[in-house]
Chains A and B, each alone.
Chain A
Amino acid sequence: MAESCIRVDSLSFRYENGGQVLSNISFSLSRGSAVALVGANGCGKTTLLWLIAGLFEAESGSIYIEEILLNRRNTRTLQKKLGLAFQNPDDQLFMATVQQDVEFGPRNFLLPEQEIQHRAREAMHRTNCLHLADRPPYRLSGGEKRMVSLATILASDAEILLLDEPTNALDPRARRTTINLLRSLPHTKLIATHDLDMVLDLCDEVILLNHGTIAAKGPSREILSNGPLLEAAGLELPLSLQG
């Protein structure tokens, strides 16, 4: 059996004074795979990404990053392997210029100046935002912000990308650019999204969440062409599969 990059075993989570958000979630991602987390609003997609990123502590169950159990002591070390792109890029962009924001991760990892510059340039080049380097992030368009937010995690040299709605609120061209960029990245990707057409384009597998539990998992085309299954989870067939 191939070594898993992320493994989640019987994971459950509830917010303080809140209802159960996730129950008994188990799955694994192999290195270099692209897996989509789909489900209706509030089904626990973002929470699951945050749990894997070590931002919340699970009620029960375990998460393994490259076969290392994620716990309080090693969260910071394992977080270096993960790059989380937030649903709202504004949460991720807080420095005065795009360049500074992209350099933020490498600088905090105390890399040599030359390496910082190289990584930042490389990440901005890859995401096609080199021309935005001196612009303040809050003055960028939604599509530009999304690209810069991806550049920030690429510059941090994360091996596993956790992407929360990467095509949310993008125009068709920006959406296509984002999809092409994600496809070109060799990283392991776990993508929480409502964009089922993107999933068909980009992901090998789908995990369908419904009310905090896994309703189905399997190859993208198989799951996403199952109308009754999607409907039961509050979703619809992707546009490209609708007659």
Chain B
Amino acid sequence: MTTSTKQGYRFRRFEEFACISSRIHQFHPAVILLAAFSYITLLTSFPATAVIELAPYFLFPILLAQFARIPLKPLFASTLKVLPMILLIGFLHPFLDKELAYHGSMELNRGWFIFISLMLKGFLTILMNFLMISILGIGGLQKAMKSMKIPPLFFMLFTLIYRYIMLLLEDLYRTLRAYELRSGRKPRLTRNEWGSLPGGILIRTYEQGLRVQHAMELRGFNPAHPYGSVQKLSIPDIVFIMLWLSLVVLFRIYSLPEVLGSVLVAFCGEGAGLGVLHG
């Protein structure tokens, strides 16, 4: 299988993950959306130079994925693919911000801390978004938006844009695969090919997008009423979101590594003190 084919399948896999049967998948879609939203909001609210403080935030997506029985490898792989865009945003910081900053005993340019923090925040934000789509799927996301009273027009735009992006990606990868096979695996497109290739992809996907829309409409699709009914909030939903919010806020207020460090130092210090006394 060529690289481009693998890429094409990788995007589709997120929707496949949404069909897994797990306790997490059974939660109310709005609860998952709120969990992801609160996580991302609090994550991005950390100071620009926060690095160690972000460490506990890795636990949330990892544990959530484990409980949802979603493999982390494809999520990480897809997240890493998007990461270069964050790199582009942050790579100048180490060169521009040369003021010294400290993290415990570590001394570095402030710009480096900002850069690392930005990369970590970017990685975790994208990872959480992919995880949310993997749990909810497009249908769940729509239901979550509906139960949060988001206007129907937004559903329509969201659904159609999402479907179009999927078609675009599939056609893009199919075209690139055909290109790879007939170009002697040339590494990149020539200037002439840049005109016709994306043009052809856009026209083809536009037409296929219309056909898919027609197929949806013929089977009763109404963008104002998302697919299926939305379940009611249950006690487990409320318990889950309360627990999630408490932990996310707690880790935002108290730095877990710092607390653990202090406890460890206090414990070791006490132990050392006792040792001295006994000696």
Contact = CB atoms under 8 A, between A and B. Distances in A.
B19 interface: yes
A94 B12 contact: no
Interface in A65-120: 76, 79-80, 82-84, 86, 88, 90-92, 94-97, 100, 104-105, 107-110
Nearest to A138: B12
A136 interface: yes
Contacts of B12: 96, 136, 138
Interface of B is mostly: helix
Contact of A107 (B18, B208, B218, B228): B228
B219 to A, nearest CB: 4
B220 A156 contact: yes
A152 interface: yes
Interface residues of B, number: 26
B102 interface: no
B266 interface: no
B227 interface: yes
B212 A94 contact: yes
Interface string A124-136: 0000000000101
Q: Which of B166, B212, B215 has the most CB of A within 10 A?
A: B215
Contacts of B216: 94, 104
B220 A108 contact: yes
Contact of B211 (A79, A86, A138, A153): A86
Nearest to A113: B229
Contacts of B270: none
B177 interface: no
A96 B220 contact: no
B214 A108 contact: no
Given A94-B212, A96-B16, A136-B12, A82 B218 contact: yes
Contacts of B220: 79-80, 105, 108-109, 156
A95 B262 CA distance: 51
Contacts of B229: 110
A94 B218 contact: no
Contacts of A110: 225, 229
A55 interface: yes
A136 B10 CA distance: 13
Contacts of A136: 12, 15-16
B163 interface: yes
A97 B137 CA distance: 11
A96 B15 contact: yes
A31 B214 CA distance: 25
Contact of B214 (A55, A95, A100, A138): A55
Contacts of A208: none
Contacts of A147: none
B19 A108 contact: no
A35 interface: no
Given A55-B218, A91-B212, A96-B19, 14 more contacts: A79-B220, A80-B220, A84-B214, A86-B211, A88-B211, A91-B214, A94-B166, A94-B212, A104-B219, A105-B220, A108-B219, A108-B220, A108-B227, A156-B220
Interface of A: 50, 53, 55, 76, 79-80, 82-84, 86, 88, 90-92, 94-97, 100, 104-105, 107-110, 134, 136, 138, 152-153, 156
Minimum-distance CB pairs A-B, first 8: A108-B220, A105-B219, A96-B15, A91-B211, A92-B215, A109-B220, A107-B228, A55-B214
